[in-house]
Amino acid sequence: MLTAALLGNPNVGKTTLFNYLTGSNQYVGNWPGVTVEKKEGFIEDKVKVVDLPGIYALDTYSNEEKISKEFLEKGGVDVIVNIVDASSLNRNLYLTLQLKQFKKPIVLVLNMIDVAKSKGLRIDYEKLASKLGVIVIPISASKGIGIEEVKKLLKSGNFFSPLNENDYQYTDDEKKNYKFIEEVLAEALVKEREEVITIGDRIDSIVLNKFFAYPLFLFVLYIIFKFTFTWVGQPLSDAMDEYAIGGIVSILETLLQNSSPWFSSLIIDGIVGGVGSVIVFLPIVMTLFLGISFLEDSGYMARAAFIMDRIMRKIGLSGKAFIPFIIGFGCSVPGIMSARTLESEKDRKLTALLVPLMSCNARLPVYALFASIFFPGNESSVTFSLYLLGVVIAILIGLLFKNTIFKKDEEPFIIELPEYKMPEFKSLMRNTWEKGKGFLKKAGTIIFSMSVIVWILSNFNFSGMTDMESSFLANIGRAIAPIFNPMGYGTWQSAVALLTGLMAKEVVVSTMGVIYGVDLSNILLQYFTPLAAYSFLVFVLLYTPCISVIATMRKEFGNKMMVFSVLYQLVLAWVVSFVVYNAGRLIFG
């Protein structure tokens, strides 16, 4: 079987081409950094295609470059498929020249020929091929144009055409390489008309404007929260709670009316109370990620990373680190892992310590529950403020770490801004469904099992079945609760909810559902004031996310970092929650 290495600059359409070639279903994002690890796919068991992370060159030290270089040297590569953006050949061909040092046949896939044409660029493919000593195939990956030709060529294994003699050998001299590229393009590229100002350029002049960029970014995020909590997600969630969960409870109550009270309590309070209290937030999770996927696919997220560069630089990171942060809004685990794409070890560690401060989607049900009960009508603002608080705290902690344990020099940040495009409906639906599926899977596994365990622990003690106040759970909770007294939620119920939340943040809600019963909205009002509720949410936002994150931290950075991350987040959560509650009391009385 032949092995083809798929390589190119970030965000030139590698993953889209990979998906077309291999029939895979990999995530495609309209922003750089989607491919962190190499991934494999097959063309009819004849060709193994390896999608390598996007890189600009092979002479720096990021993990992506190391992965790509190592694979090209030792991976038994038969052919390099170098995908480039046809509308920015001068930048993209530098990597092509560097790839020549591996002395493998190169198939140069010119992607986005439609965009190049719209910019008035005419490329002489034959000349380009002969000058570079490569095979050139023009394609448009997003429209599926030309891909069959790439597939056919790879399957035929006929790469060693006369064109393929490497008449130009790569040199280490950067200037010479760029001069060579200029010479090649002078002959192979014709600009039919001067570049016109496109709609994208006009949008960028506002989106990247130094005065408008940040307010606009906050406004865009706020609209997504409005969409989630006011316009679509919350109403759907309320309907699901009333009709689906409410309906199931009344059916079960009828069915179980002749059963023992403990059995009926296990099914209704334990399982339905636990799992149901979390599952009602499915529409909210899906709506929020529909909005985020829209931003990613439209090309705005890459701009967000660009405009965040200035702030990120202040905390000792480059804008590139903003990408793990964005991924962290979904889940901290892939967020921490995608810190691998950063150049230095210090960057990777600092990013991994800050990523868990971004609100992951597991925290969303907790925010949604408390916001709808304690701040009706202001759900979007309250949740938005928590997301924002996570970012602000990450900036402050970043500043602190930058000047203490992670002192380092600044590094430049290069990011290619993709073309704006209207996100494809299919891609949006797939990304949103992925999130929904993950959420449902979690509800059916860890949340279900934790609900049953919490029900047992809250109904038993050493002498058998008992009332909740004398149960195992109440005793465990009472031992921890004093820690939370200064923040206004020092009840045993809150303490155990936070403790079980270490398994997964949604379990905070399911635990409360089991302890307080299905009608959480009325009962919670007796245990929390609005200020204590907000302070509780701040604690949920900042304390150690879950054991998966702890384990990932250990796997990526070792035991010391794992222990440090757990402790610093616990202390941070306590301190900020304390400040919020007590400052709030001073202000609001």
d(CA 406, CA 429): 40
- Please identify which residue in 288, 532, 546, 572 interacts with other proteins, judged by CB under 8 A: 546
| Residues whose CB falls within 8 Å of the CB of residue 501, separated by 6 or more in sequence, listed in order | 366, 507, 508, 511, 540, 546
Q: Given candidates 171, 250, 445, 522, which one binds other proteins under the rule CB under 8 A? A: 445
Residue in 361, 480, 344 with CA at minimum distance from that of residue 431: 361
Is position 564 an interface residue for other proteins (rule: CB under 8 A)?
no
Contact with other proteins (CB under 8 A) among 98, 164, 500, 552: 552
Write each residue from 260 to 279 as x if it is in contact with other proteins (CB under 8 A), else as -, in one continuous string. Answer: x--x--x----x--------
Task: Please identify, using beta-carbon distances, which residue of 58 and 504 lies nearer to other proteins.
Answer: 504
Residue range at the interface with other proteins (CB under 8 A); choices 122-130, 232-240, 452-460, 532-540: 452-460
Asked if residues 174 and 145 have their Cβ atoms less than 8 Å apart, the reply is no
3-state secondary structure of 138: strand
Smallest gap from Cβ 443 to other proteins, in A, equals 9
Smallest separation (angstroms) from other proteins to the CB of 301: 13
| Residue 26 touches other proteins, criterion: CB under 8 A | yes
Q: Which is nearer to other proteins, 304 or 331 (CB)?
A: 331
Q: Which of residues 39-98 bind other proteins (CB under 8 A)?
A: 39-40
Examine residue 551 and tell whether it contacts other proteins (CB under 8 A).
yes
217 interacts with other proteins by CB under 8 A: no
With helix as H, strand as E and coil as C, how does 322-390 read?
A: HHHHHHHCCCHHHHHHHHHHCCCHHHHHHHHHHHHHCCCCCCHHHHHHHHHHHCCCCHHHHHHHHHHHH
Nearer to other proteins, 127 or 554 (CB): 554
Residue 42 or 527 having the CB closest to other proteins? 42
Q: CB under 8 Å to 82, separation ≥6 — which residues?
A: 7, 8, 95, 96, 99, 106, 107, 108, 109, 134
Residue 424 contacts other proteins per CB under 8 A? no
Among residues 581, 579, 571, the alpha carbon closest in space to that of 535 is found at: 581
Cα–Cα distance for residue pair 572/577, rounded to 1 Å: 8
d(CA 110, CA 125) in angstroms, rounded, equals 9
Q: Given the rule CB under 8 A, which of 120-128, 210-218, 306-314, 552-560 is the region that contacts other proteins?
A: 552-560
Closest to other proteins by CB, 458 vs 552, is 552
Give least dist CB 452 to other proteins, A: 4
- The piece of 247-255, 298-306, 533-541, 550-558 that touches other proteins (CB under 8 A) is 550-558
Separation between Cα atoms, residue 488 and residue 585, nearest integer Å: 10
Decide: is 520 part of the binding site for other proteins (CB under 8 A): no
Q: With contact defined as beta carbons under 8 Å apart, do 499 and 512 qualify?
A: no
Judged by CB under 8 A, the stretch of 2-10, 389-397, 520-528, 548-556 that binds other proteins is 548-556
Q: Taking contact as CB under 8 A, which single stretch among the options 67-75, 328-336, 408-416, 485-493 is the one that binds other proteins?
A: 328-336
Which element (helix H / strand E) includes 553? Answer: helix 547-557
Q: In angstroms, what is the minimal distance from the CB of 1 to other proteins?
A: 12
At position 95, the amino acid (one-letter code) is L
To 10 degrees, what angle do helices 282-298 and 364-374 make? 120
DSSP string, 189-238: EEESSPPPPPHHHHHHHHHT-TTTHHHHHHHHHHHHHHIIIIISHHHHHH
Closest to other proteins by CB, 447 vs 532, is 447
Residue that is written with structure tokens 């970014």 in the block: 217
Q: How many residues bind other proteins (CB under 8 A)?
A: 55
For other proteins, the closer CB: 260 or 526: 260
Angle between helices 345-354 and 379-402 (to 10 degrees): 150
Residue 72 or 331 having the CB closest to other proteins: 331
Q: For the window 175-194, what string marks contact with other proteins as x by the rule CB under 8 A?
A: --------------------
Strands 460-461 vs 464-465: parallel, antiparallel or unpaired: antiparallel
- Dist. CA 563–CA 566, nearest whole Å: 5
Q: Return the residues of window 332-391 that contact other proteins according to CB under 8 A.
A: 332-334, 337-338, 340, 360-362
Q: Residues 164-200, buried b or exposed e (16+ Cβ, 10 A)?
A: beeebebeeeeeebeebbeebbeebbeeeeeeeeeee
Rounded CA gap, 362 and 344, in Å?
A: 30
Residues in 402-421 that interact with other proteins by CB under 8 A: none
286 contributes a contact to other proteins by CB under 8 A: no
Judged by beta carbon, residue 27 or residue 578, the one nearer other proteins is: 27
Q: Which of 206, 223, 479, 547 binds other proteins (CB under 8 A)?
A: 547
Of 102-110, 366-374, 437-445, 475-483, the window that binds other proteins (rule: CB under 8 A) is 437-445
d(CA 508, CA 498): 6
* Alpha carbon distances (Å) from 296 to 32, 320, 355: 10, 15, 18
Q: For other proteins, give the closer residue by CB, 373 or 428.
A: 428
The contact set with other proteins (CB under 8 A) reads 25-27, 29, 34, 36-40, 259-260, 263, 266, 271, 327, 330-334, 337-338, 340, 360-362, 431, 434-435, 437-439, 441-442, 445-446, 448-453, 456, 503-504, 506, 546-549, 551-552, 554-555
